Structure 1
Amino acid sequence: MRADPRLSINQATIKHADLATALKATADAGVQSIGLWREPVNEVGLDTATKMLADSGLRFSTHCRGGFFTLPAGPERDAALDDNRRAIEETAVLAAAGAAGSTAVLVLVAGGLPEGSRDLIGARERVRDAIGALAGDAKAAGVTLAIEPLHPMYASDRAVISTLGQALDVAADFDATVVGAAVDTFHIWWDPQVLDQIARAGREGRIATYQVCDWKTPLAADVLLSRHYPGDGVIDFGSLTRAVIETGYDRDIEVELFNADIWADDPARVVARTAASFGEAISPHLR
């Protein structure tokens, strides 16, 4: 089966592959796009990573990740903002190196509650403030900051932004070309308002990336590692994908899998299975 031209392999899906292996496995499978993570890029250095991406012929769909904005004022928060500025620069450089159709999108994970804190409202406001501090840098670089809401089970330790509606409420303070949202099926499938919020995101021009993977219970002991190939769980990809496409979204669609068994598999086999599952679960709803 030929890979769907809209498919992008998020590098987390083959987490233990180095950058060279990830690029080769993706291209060899006939997949046309890849989303990169900062750690493998930084292992080889941005200049080398940029050349490797350009030589691969692949589009660049997103850079993961920035964020972690919930710390109170002080040196650690300042350092986090500076690191996000570096991530913005990386995103712009890599997007320019990717094949035609690449997008300069930096995915943001908001961050959880600071240690010892129960102030969820305050943490969310600090996310808004941090994005405000970075919006000018993103605009100057031509980068879109994509706020990714995470499932509520991650609210304490990873992301105090739990719904697409909350992400859009934060993004509303900024130009849509500068701040948008990441729509990830794993995190938002359960939300009774999700179809309305996808439509809202479309009206506001804020869907920066669409990411797909499946939910299946029981969850792994480490709930972070509970993502499955599309079609292996309970998510209704038809309704979600059609809702996203109906907004006019025409960019790449990433598969992002956090799963220890998948990570232990051969990267080439994982990419091939990802392409096949995407073709069965997602592609029929793109037409």
Structure 2
Amino acid sequence: MNQATIKYANLDEALHSVAAGGYEAIGLWREPVQEVGLAESARRLRDSGLRFTTLCRGGFFTMPEGPERRAAIDDNRRAIEETATLAAAGAPGSTAVYVLVAGGLPEGSRDVVDARARVADALAELAPEAQAAGVTLAIEPLHPMFASDRCVVTTLKQALDLAEPFAPEVVGVTVDTFHIWWDPEVLPQIARAGASGRIATYQVCDWKTPLPANVLNSRHYPGDGVIDFATLTAAVEATGYAGDVEVEIFNDDIWNAPYDEVVARTAETFGAAVGPHLALPVRTA
């Protein structure tokens, strides 16, 4: 389970609920980790017995060169260290994957091509540090409705094009069903990602309309919407991907529900909508 699915849980509550719910692994977010400190978070993760899958999220470096961009790059450097530390603290099989959301158009800009080029520049700057730390930078393409304010990388192809100059263990991609299900090129691009060893994490949740006013929080439990998990999951599995499948849901109603209820419901819906299409035994992470 990605911790965002129970957004209002603090680190202890998230670790306890996920472990008690029978999950084997958890993806963490930086803010709850920073609330208690990196060393203490690593200790609590180790004590939980859970594997660590991903740290969310970084990036947001599309602005022109200047103090704001320098601050963003430095923050991503710190996050690389956080990812490495948490991966070392997790149970055996943990993965040091740091999820990157590129960022939207800088204020006053309409040049999406230029903004995307700055993502490439940031990757070139951060990749050597990620490699030294044993961390994979996982570029996450977001649905095009977020291109202006959150992420100028909107397709898996764009993410893979950005990743290609680097070794696959250093820069990979996040395959998130919510963001890529609509893309007519998604299946060949999943195959391409698998052939080059760049699927760093596979995340699932569902898409359902009408969307709420805050479209960011419009994700649903697997099976409650229109996404074809059979086809997408089979495509990911066909590449040989053997990592955890991470459920990440942003939804106000789900966030306001009791954590244990959400943990149980997530496992139930995942088992029904995604689990049957996994070549390996169901892994609830």
**Scaled by the length of structure 1, what TM-score is found?**
0.97
Residue 78 of structure 2 corresponds to which residue in structure 1? Answer: 86
Q: Does residue 118 of the first structure (1) align with residue 110 of the second (2)?
A: yes
Query: What is the SS of the residue equivalent to 1:61?
Result: strand
Paired residue for 1:266?
258
Matched-pair identity in % = 70
Equivalent residue number for residue 20 of structure 1: 12
Q: What per-residue deviation string (whole Å, max 9, x for no partner) do you get for residues 43-78 of structure 1? A: 000011000000000000000011001010001100
- Counterpart-to-counterpart distance in 2, 1:222 and 1:104: 31
* Number of the residue aligned with 1:6: none
Could you list the runs of 5+ residues in structure 2 that have no partner in the other structure? Answer: 280-285
C-alpha RMSD over aligned residues: 0.4
**1:185 — aligned with what?**
177
Whole-Å separation in 1 of the counterparts to 2:257 and 2:181: 27
CA distance in 1, matches of 2:168, 2:39: 29
The one-letter code sitting in structure 2 at the alignment partner of 1:144 is T
The 5 Å alignment of 1:179-258 reads 179-258=171-250
The counterpart of 2:121, out of the listed 123, 126, 129, is: 129
Aligned residue for 1:146?
Answer: 138
Aligned to 1:107: 99
Q: Is the partner of 1:78 in helix, strand or coil?
A: helix
- Whichever residue aligns with residue 255 of structure 2, its letter is W
Look up the match of 2:283.
none
The CA distance in 2 between the partners of 1:173 and 1:78, in whole Å, is 22
2:235 counterpart letter in structure 1? A
- Number of equivalences: 279
Structure-1 separation of matches of 2:101 and 2:166 = 17
Displacement over 2 Å in runs of 4+ = none
Aligned to 1:47: 39
Shift of 1:199: 0.2
CA distance in 2, matches of 1:201, 1:65: 21
**2:90 corresponds to which letter in structure 1?**
G
CA distance in 1, matches of 2:264, 2:94: 22
Q: Distance in 2 between matches of 1:197 and 1:136?
A: 26
Identify which of 31, 38, 46 aligns with 2:23: 31
**How many angstroms apart in 2 are the aligned matches of 1:91 and 1:228?**
27
Q: Distance in 2 between matches of 1:218 and 1:147?
A: 28
Q: Name the aligned partner's letter for residue 229 of structure 1.
A: Y
Question: Per-residue deviation at 1:194?
Answer: 0.2
Ranges in structure 1 where 5+ consecutive residues have no aligned partner: 1-8
Match of 1:5 in 2: none
Letter in 2 for 1:243: A
Letter in 1 for 2:144: P
Which amino acid counterpart does residue 244 of structure 1 have in structure 2? V
